[in-house]
Structure 1
Amino acid sequence: MIRSITALVLTSCLASADIWTDAFRIEKISPPPGVDAQIGGIATTPSGNLAACFHRGELFIYNPKEDTWKQFASGLHEPLGLLAESDSSFLVMQRPELTRIKDTDGDGVGDLYQTVFDDFGMTGNYHEFAFGLAQDKEGFIYLALGTASNGAGIREEIRGPWSAIGLDRKDMLNGSDWRKYKGRAGRMYSRVPYRGWVIKVSPDGSKWQPFASGFRSPEGLGFDKDGRLFVADNQGDWLGTSKVFHVQEGHFYGHPASLVWKEGWNRDPLQVSVAELEKLRTPAMGLLPQGELANSPTEPRMIPRGVFGGLSEQMLIGEMNSPTLVRFLPDPVGAVSQGAAIPFLRTGALGAGNHRLTFTPDGSLWIAKTHLSWAGGEGLVRVRLKEQASNFLAIDRVKLTSRGFSLGFTQPVDPESLKKIEITRHTYRYHAAYGSPKVDKRDVLIKGGATLSEGNRSCVINLKNTGDLKRGYLYTIRLPEVRSNAGKLLLGDTVYYTLHAKR
């Protein structure tokens, strides 16, 4: 066994007062010595230990009570997802396959490596990541396949069938001529199956299906308490900003490269009009504004029941580029998925690189970090709610009304602190270009100020003009200096509400 040294609590040296570290204890855990400390996947075992797979292919088990690491497996290829089936069996999403690793002789080391699923294509392009993993209540496994980038071509040897739709294969090869052809390939492309898709796989790998399409770089997947599958995708071509989707079987979510693997499809996606793609796509449940909330969202993870007080059973989403997480509160209107995103743990003490999340039975949130040569971080962080902070103030409900918005709070709010609420709205372009500026940004006027009810734990904000509620827009609700009756400042004072359907 290898004993690590747990660092002291990270104190905020960026400001004299940090409301997040006042409420949450953030500790950095030392990794096993000698490993690349980027962590691609993390999972909680039935016994309450942590399994973590590292960038260079090791899988270690961490015992939080003893503060020790023990190596379980090695030789993995860029693992970016992990599920613990038991204390001695793990599913790992490697770049080339979904693998089951088991300890069959009880010595605490994996000795059986089984290929569960590898029926997807690879071209050798650097951007063909394989992300995971999520498991539904029936035991099916969900993984996501990133598209290739025209920052590079492909290798001569590929795995899987080649789609003839698009640039000739000989012109797609890496080499000195690639610069001449890359523009015609599309910014991101899917020439082998099923790049840009979410895949559903049975636990033994005997059955699988392409589940949903239209993704660019779907970095994380997770289920909420109601069985909704959340998938986060990163800003780029066809994504004006980063997004979180409620993914449903058979739906298309906007990035056209993946359409070449849709049954019966025979057209070049680059030649399909935006208007036609708009009719095909299911819009994102949540828009995450670039540069403000999330630049590279990662894994969604539900807060377990009874953990973090009034935030219990809500969804958290990792964020790789910024020192923050995102909390997401769904607010479906009929069959239309939409809702509100709120910053969580936005503090320099957290650091960037927040890639994979898990909880242990003691109520600790564990955050595994990576950067994959982009912006990010490395290592493992533990987050716990401080005992004296159980009366923290946060928004625990956001609902669209016919006249504006209704917010719920975990504690009674001081009415005098609600006088500075501001709302703006904007949208993004859906187009082939990389990202989008904010479009049609404007202030939204409030009618008569916010109204409190339910013992000052519910706040209604009516708009002066209900015509300002428009489909396809993101509403930014800023609540500066809001505090509880006990004087606690609001944790997460900005709400980003994505509106697709009105009430």
Structure 2
Amino acid sequence: MKIKQSLITCSLLVAGLVNVADAKTTYIPKGYSIETITTPKDVRFHATGLDTNKQGHVYVATRFGDVWALKNDTWTKFADGLHEPTGLMCDDDGSIVVGQKPELTRLVDLDKDGVADDYIRVADGWEFHDNYHEFNFAPVKDKAGNYYGTLNLGHGVPDALKLGAMDSGGGYRGWAYKVSPDGKFTPFASGLRSPAGLGMSPNNEMFYTDNQGDWVETSKLHLLEEGKFYGHPVTLRDDPNFGLDKVRENKSNFKMFDEMREKPVVWIPHLEVANSPGNPEWDVSKGKFGPFEGQIFIGDQTQSNIFRVMLDKVKGKYQGAVINFIDGFQSGNIRLDFDNQGQLWVGQTARGWGAKGGKPFGLQKVVWNGETPFELLDMKLTAKGFKLSFTQALSDKNVLAKHFKVHEYNYKYTSRYGSDKHNTKDLTVKNVTLSEDKKSAEIELDLTADKVVVVDFSSLRNVSKEKPSVTKVYYTLNQLL
């Protein structure tokens, strides 16, 4: 491979090649592999912002303030001097929009030499108290041209309001925000804690992930809607209907805050799936990435893995299931993006929190070789239980009620850091119906709303006697049909 050289470029030595030492997994679907990309030499490449443009060029923001571009197997430094950016988007006009701590910034290459010439402020309508934990996760963009971001709460901000581990010095910390095409900043939604992942769906709906902690029972995925409250009451100091005094007066009124808050689309079980999830990324590759078209993929910074979310719309509201997809990455997976070839790029950092992957930072991608794996494809609620669909036909010898182990539990909402599982109960599968094509099994059982239902299907096999790489799925049952 011939590599270009320049004063501002670093050679890409092994782009796209598999590094076996970095790709040890405990679960991985057949036909998928992890490839490790060599990043610029002697650069602390903590990839906290990641996007690809229509041409397939990769742009990465690092938490040390650089933006790098990968074109034709060559790394070029596109920008530098930013304040710990934790999000990046390739805009329609060819510019790059970056969420750095104090502002949302547009980077423009005026002379088309591959280096940004203009750093333009897009928005800064929030307060930044120079606190290490006050991240700005941004941006995503809707079809009307509005930009959105999410603002992390602080930790140890002087004179801040604190009702748990995290705090707010005011200025919309713990809020989502909206910026119109003409630059108007608007507070959008409150109650966020550590909302490290923001994503816009193909249907122009915005979702975000939040990390387990105070007032957050376990990590979760939400539909993000204007004017809604998502659970962390310290943020209400900036709500004109509350303010500091009212928040302090009601700081132990868990029932009031619980009734105010939005339910998550899915709970993400702690340790079993994730500790610190990043951005949701939709597979819109039209089959280039395998059989999971339309599903959500999310990476986890601590577990060094990627998991899938299978949405289910019940009575007009989203809920759904979470299942692990692939693990064994070299560092913590915080940013995901599908390129125009259907390859899933993975931006990585271990930062101060550490990650199962042994490296402090890096860049990898997941590719599919065209072989269809035997995996759970989807899970939907039915009037009598659930319908589990698979990518291949099941062996009917292994599709009996005894082959499904099911239990339920719920979490408790308090100001404490996370929640144990409560009211754990085994559920009996009363009947199983296999579809005519043998790719779906409907299980009948008694269900209760506001529970996480765990289905273990490790006894299932396909007609070739193979088992799925992952055999446990977690369905967030907010409501019944």
Do they fold alike, i.e. is TM over 0.5? yes
Equivalent residue number for residue 428 of structure 2: 445
Would the aligned equivalents of 1:319 and 1:352 in 2 still touch at CA under 8 Å? no
Matched residues in 1 for 2:106 and 2:135: separation? 19
| Structure 1 residue aligned with 2:417 | 434
Contact 1:48 1:361 (C-alpha < 8 Å) held by counterparts: yes
Partner of 2:6: none
Contact 2:380 2:388 in 1 (8 A): yes
Question: Do residues 459 (structure 1) and 468 (structure 2) align?
Answer: no
2:169 aligned to which of 191, 196, 203: 191
Amino acid of the structure 1 residue aligned with 2:290: G
- 2:406 — aligned with what? 423
- Any unmatched runs of 5+ in structure 2? 1-8
With the length of structure 2 as denominator, give the TM-score of the two structures: 0.91
Please point out which of 85, 101, 119 is paired with 2:125: 119
Counterpart of 1:316 in structure 2 is 297
For 1:47, the equivalent position in structure 2 comes to: 55
Superposition map of 1:39-188 within 5 A: 39-63=47-71, 66-86=72-92, 88-149=94-155, 152-154=156-158, 169=159, 186-188=164-166
Runs of 4+ in 1 over 4 A off after TM superposition: 12-15
Deviation at 1:130, TM superposition (A): 0.9
CA RMSD of aligned residues (A): 2.0
Q: Give CA deviations for 1:253-287 in whole Å, capped at 9, x if unaligned.
A: 11111111112223442432111111111111110
Structure 2 counterpart of 1:313, which letter? G
Question: Could you say what secondary structure the match of 1:257 adopts?
Answer: helix
Return the alpha-carbon distance in structure 2 between the equivalents of residues 49 and 481 of structure 1.
Answer: 43
Match of 1:484 in 2: 462
Tell me what 1:393 maps to: 374
Distance change in 2, residues 1:22/1:458 (3 Å): closer
Q: Is the 8 A contact 2:51 2:88 kept in 1?
A: yes
Query: Where do residues 164-243 of structure 1 align in structure 2 (5 Å cutoff)?
Result: 169=159, 186-205=164-183, 207-243=184-220
Closer, same or farther in 2 for the Cα pair 1:18/1:294, shift >3 Å? closer
Which residue is equivalent to 1:276?
256
Residue pair 1:481, 1:490 contacting (<8 A) in 2 also: no
Give the Å deviation of 1:81: 0.4
State which drifts further: 89-98 or 394-403. 394-403
- How far did 1:494 drift? 1.4
Contact map agreement 1:414 1:482 (CA 8 A) in 2: yes
Task: Show the counterpart of 1:362.
Answer: 341
For residue 199 of structure 2, give the secondary structure of its aligned residue in structure 1.
strand
Return the alpha-carbon distance in structure 1 between the equivalents of residues 246 and 27 of structure 2: 51
Determine which of 306, 309, 313 is the counterpart of 1:328. Answer: 309
Q: Superposed, which structure 2 residues align to 1:373-384 within 5 Å? A: 373-376=352-355, 377-384=360-367
Aligned 8 A contact 1:412 1:457 in 2 = yes
Aligned to 1:159: none
AA paired with 2:471? D
Q: Call closer, same or farther: CA 1:485–1:227 in 2, change over 3 Å.
A: farther
Alpha-carbon distance in 2 for matches of 1:486, 1:24: 19
| 1:358/1:365 contact within 8 Å kept | yes
Q: Look up the equivalent residue of 2:42 and give its one-letter code.
A: G
Residues 203-242 of structure 1 show CA distances to partners (whole Å, capped at 9, x for unaligned) of 442x232111111000011122333311100000111111
Q: Secondary structure at the match of 1:5?
A: coil
Cα pair 2:104 2:138 within 8 Å, conserved: no
Task: State the distance in 1 between where 2:167 and 2:45 align.
Answer: 31
CA distance in 2, matches of 1:439, 1:112: 53
How much does 1:13 deviate? 9.0
| Unmatched runs of 5 consecutive residues or more in structure 1 | 155-168, 173-181
> After superposition, where does 1:278-293 map in structure 2 within 5 Å?
278-293=258-273
Check the 8 A contact 1:212/1:251 in 2, yes or no.
yes
Aligned-partner residue type, residue 453 of structure 1: S
Of residues 457, 469, 473 in structure 2, which corresponds to 1:495?
A: 473
Query: Does the 8 A contact of 2:212 with 2:418 survive in 1?
Result: yes
Give the TM-score of the pair, scaled to structure 1. 0.87
SS of the equivalent of 1:260 reads helix
SS of the residue aligned with 1:332? strand
Matched, 1:32 2:40: yes
1:19 is displaced (CA, Å) by 5.7
Match of 1:165 in 2: none
Paired amino acid for 1:492: V
Shift of 1:296: 0.7
Alignment-derived partner of residue 176 in structure 1: none
Please give the alpha-carbon distance, in whole angstroms, between the structure 1 residues aligned to 2:51 and 2:278. Answer: 15
CA distance in 2, matches of 1:433, 1:323: 26
Q: 2:225 aligns with which of 224, 243, 248?
A: 248
* Percentage of identical aligned residues: 35
SS of match in other structure, 2:278: strand
Residue identity opposite 2:239 in structure 1: K
Aligned length: 462
User: Once the 2 structures are TM-superposed, how far is the Cα of residue 22 of structure 1 from its aligned partner?
Assistant: 4.0
Kindly indicate whether the alpha-carbon contact (under 8 Å) linking 1:418 and 1:479 is maintained by their aligned counterparts in 2.
no
- 1:261 is the counterpart of 2:238: yes
Q: Which amino acid aligns with 1:80?
A: T
Contact 2:30 2:373 (C-alpha < 8 Å) held by counterparts? no
- CA drift of 1:372 comes to 2.4
What per-residue deviation string (whole Å, max 9, x for no partner) do you get for residues 440-464 of structure 1? 111111103x32104011110101x
**Which has the higher mean CA deviation after the structures are superposed, 226-235 or 89-98?**
226-235
Alpha-carbon distance in structure 2 between the residues aligned to 1:359 and 1:54? 19
